[in-house]
Structure 1
């Protein structure tokens, strides 16, 4: 208060009070802004974490889908190889037919149902 009295002659008291009030209001706004920024940052961090988790889930699902296709393709090539080794035409044809069916179908043919499962709340086990 002594310092306020010292500037009394230089600055009118009403102006000094308005200035201090404006300064306090600015400080309150700064604190509110910092709180709001902290909330936004927390929401951003949560969203990024959820996006990363979802991306990892998608990667695991698609890795598994393509692993299964690879396994089926390898099995059919084994059948074809056995048929060729034993000169068994029906075994070769069965292997080729199975291989053709796998290759002809897209792993994304039932993408809508895959997306439904991925976007659902159910836990997915591998």
Structure 2
């Protein structure tokens, strides 16, 4: 007897055992319910896998956006830092040489930098960052 026939006989023996406890009509109903539960479990597992994959895609997108925003803001504030530093260099030079024009020029530039907000065009910046266009930083 081959292995497949042996398995079938073992399965039939188990059904006969079960029928001694439950009527055969209930055994068939039980097997049907068990099969439906298995099928539903398989569907649920596929849906969970799909949700997990979508979650990973979204997390990757969020991480990439975070990295992009971080680089953009680092660049914006780095430029402001350099402009402020340059303004103080001009003011210092004016003080060292007693040159009022340099001092005034440095103070005016400093005033422009600190009074302007990098967020004035926030909507424009946000639209640029959210677009799929390549942004050079």
Give the TM-score of the pair, scaled to structure 1: 0.95
Q: 1:17 aligns with which of 15, 28, 33?
A: 28
Q: 1:113 aligns with which of 97, 112, 124?
A: 124
**Tell me, which stretches of 5 or more residues in structure 2 are unaligned?**
1-11
2:12 matches 1:7: no
Q: 1:47 aligns with which of 58, 72, 78?
A: 58
Give the TM-score of the pair, scaled to structure 2: 0.88
- In 2, the alpha carbon distance for the partners of 1:83 and 1:6 equals 103
The aligned counterpart of 1:78 is: 89
The aligned counterpart of 1:69 is: 80
How far the C-alpha of 1:71 sits from its partner, in A, is 0.3
- In 2, the alpha carbon distance for the partners of 1:32 and 1:66 equals 51
- In 2, the alpha carbon distance for the partners of 1:103 and 1:56 equals 26
Superposition RMSD in Å: 1.0
Give a deviation string over 1:32-85, Cα, whole Å, max 9, x none.
111110110111111111111101111110010000000001111111111111
Give a deviation string over 1:1-33, Cα, whole Å, max 9, x none.
122223334322111000000001001111111
Secondary structure of the corresponding residue to residue 124 of structure 1: coil
What count of residue pairs does the alignment treat as equivalent? Answer: 126
Select the structure of larger CA radius of gyration. Answer: 2
**Tell me, which stretches of 5 or more residues in structure 1 are unaligned?**
none
**Dislocated runs of 4+, deviation >4 Å:** none
How far the C-alpha of 1:92 sits from its partner, in A, is 0.7
